[in-house]
Structure 1
C-alpha cells in the first residue's frame, strides 16, 4: 500500500534515530515517505499550507512536531487524530485564521502548545483545549485574539505557564471572568505582569 510505505527519507530531508528534519527546504506541502517510526518531525521554515490527517496519522509514535514558520491557515477536528502520543506541538508564525473546536481533542498527552504569532487568529472556541488535560505550557502571544472564555481553561489543571501579551484584548464585561481566572490561577507569566487591553492594563 502506498500510504504505509514510509520507510525511506523524504527528498532533501535528514533522517536519523527516529528524527526527521525537513527545515527550510521550501516545501509547499507535507512531505511524503516519512518513516513510520518517526518520533520527532521538524517542518519549520517552509511554505506548507495544510497538514493532511491521513498522512500525519500514520506516525503513531510521534511525540514532537515543529511546524513553525509555514503558511498553515486552518487546523481541523481530525488533523491530529492519529498522533495521540504527541507531547510538543509548535504552530507559531503561520497564517492561522481558524482552529476547529476539537482540533486538539485527541492530544491528551500534550505538554507544550505554541500557537503564537498568528495575527489573523481572531478567536478560540471554549472547547479548543477540552481534552488537553496534561498541558503545562501554552503560548498565545501576538495573535488577533480579543477575548477568551475562561471555560476554555477549566480542564487545564496542570497548566503552569501561559503567555498572553501582544494581543488586542477587548476589555468588557465578557472579558472580566477571564481576568478573574488569571488573577486566581497563580499561573506563571514569564516576562509579563500585565495584559495590555486597549488604553487599560489588566493585572495578570
Structure 2
C-alpha cells in the first residue's frame, strides 16, 4: 500500500515544481529575456527580437517597455491584464494596425508611445478608454487619415505628436475635446488644407508646428482662439500670396510679431515673407483645383527638429535606447522570479509535464492492483 502513497507524494512534488517553473525562472537572472524590477514594477523587454508580447508579464507592472522589437501585430487581449500600467512603450516595432479594444483595460495609462511603426490607420475608438493619457506619440508612421472622434475621450491630453506621417487632411472637430492640449506637432505631413475652426477649442495650446506641409492658405480666424500660443512654425509651406485668402495670415503674423516665436519665417512660394504681403499683391480670388491632386507631394523622410524637452525625438541605435531615454539597468531583481517565459522555462515545463504524466500512470497502476 505504500506504493500509491509514494506516487501521490511524487505527484504533489512534481506539481509544485511545475507551478514554480511556470510562474518563475523567467527574469533575466534566470535566463529570461526581460529585465524585471519588483520594487519599481518596471518590465523592460527592449530590443529582444520579440515577435509576440510575452504572455505572463506581472499584473502589477507599472511601466512596460517593448521598444525595438519585431512586433507586427497585437492580439486584442495583449494588455487586458495590465490595468496598472501608466507607461507603455511600443516604438521602433513593425505594427501595421491596432486591433479594436487593445488598450481598453489600460485605464491608468498616462503615456503611450507608438512612434516609428508602420501604422496606416487607426480603428475608431481605439483610445476611448485612455481617459488619463497626457502624452501620445504617433509620429513616424504611415497614417493617411484620422477617424472622426479618435481623440474625443482624451480630455487630459497635453502633448500630441503626429508629425512625419502622410496626412492630407484633418477631420472637422478632430481636436475639439482636447481643451488641455499644450503642444501639437503636425509637421512633415502632406496637409493641403485645414478645416475651419479646427483649433478653436485649444485655448491652452502653447506650441503648434505646421512646417513642411502643402498649405497654401488657412481659413479666416483659424488662430484667433489660440490665446496661449507662444510658438508656431509655418515655414516650408507653399503659401500662395497671389490671392486674398493669404491676407488673414499676413495680418495675424504682423499682429503677433515679437509675441509668438517662429511666425516671421513663413514665406510665399516666391520667397517673399508672408507678413509683407499687401492687399494689392493679393488681389485675386482663390480658386483651387481638387486638393488631393493639385500639388505633387513628396514623402518626407528626414526628421523634424524640435525644441520640446518632453522626450527626445531623434532616432538612436538600438543598443543606446536605454541610455537615450534615461533607462537604467535595475540594480535589484526580484527575489521571486515573476517575469516572462524563456526557452529554458518551456523546456523545464515540458519535462515537468512528462514526469507528472508518469506519476499519474503510476498511481493508477497501483490503485488497480489495490
Shorter-normalised TM range? 0.7 to 0.9
Give the stretch that moved more between structures: 10-19 or 181-190. Answer: 181-190
- Of residues 128, 135, 143 in structure 2, which corresponds to 1:105? 128
Asked if the contact 1:64/1:89 (under 8 Å) is kept, the reply is: yes
Equivalent in the alignment of 1:89: 112
Shift in alpha-carbon separation, 1:156–1:39, aligned structure 2, 3 A: same
Shift in alpha-carbon separation, 1:195–1:124, aligned structure 2, 3 A: farther
- Offset of 1:181 from its aligned partner? 4.5
- Offset of 1:51 from its aligned partner? 2.5
Cα distance in 2 for partners of 1:183, 1:146 equals 23
- Offset of 1:185 from its aligned partner? 2.9
Cα distance in 1 for partners of 2:58, 2:163 equals 33
Asked if the contact 1:161/1:188 (under 8 Å) is kept, the reply is: no
RMSD of equivalent CA atoms: 2.6
Asked if the contact 1:164/1:195 (under 8 Å) is kept, the reply is: no
Equivalent in the alignment of 1:41: 64
1:1-204 matches, cutoff 5 A: 9=27, 11-16=32-37, 17-118=40-141, 120-171=142-193, 175-178=195-198, 180-182=221-223, 184-186=225-227, 193-194=233-234, 196-197=236-237, 199-200=238-239
Scaled by the length of structure 2, what TM-score is found? 0.49
3-state SS in 2 of match to 1:99: coil
Tell me how many residue pairs correspond in the alignment: 196
Bigger relative CO (Cα 8 Å, ≥ 6 apart): 2
Give the stretch that moved more between structures: 81-90 or 43-52. Answer: 43-52
Cα distance in 2 for partners of 1:101, 1:189 equals 32
- Offset of 1:39 from its aligned partner? 0.5
- Offset of 1:54 from its aligned partner? 1.6
Deviations 1:60-81 (CA, angstroms, capped at 9, x unpaired): 1000000000011112330101
Give the stretch that moved more between structures: 108-117 or 47-56. Answer: 47-56
- Offset of 1:6 from its aligned partner? 6.9
Deviations 1:151-197 (CA, angstroms, capped at 9, x unpaired): 111111111111111111113xx64443555553346586x511654
Give the stretch that moved more between structures: 88-97 or 29-38. Answer: 29-38
3-state SS in 1 of match to 2:174: helix
Cα distance in 1 for partners of 2:23, 2:168 equals 42
Structure 2 segments unaligned to the other structure (5+ residues): 1-21, 199-217, 241-245, 250-262, 264-370
Q: Of the two, which has the highest radius of gyration?
A: 2
Cα distance in 1 for partners of 2:51, 2:158 equals 31
Cα distance in 2 for partners of 1:6, 1:166 equals 46
Asked if the contact 1:9/1:33 (under 8 Å) is kept, the reply is: no
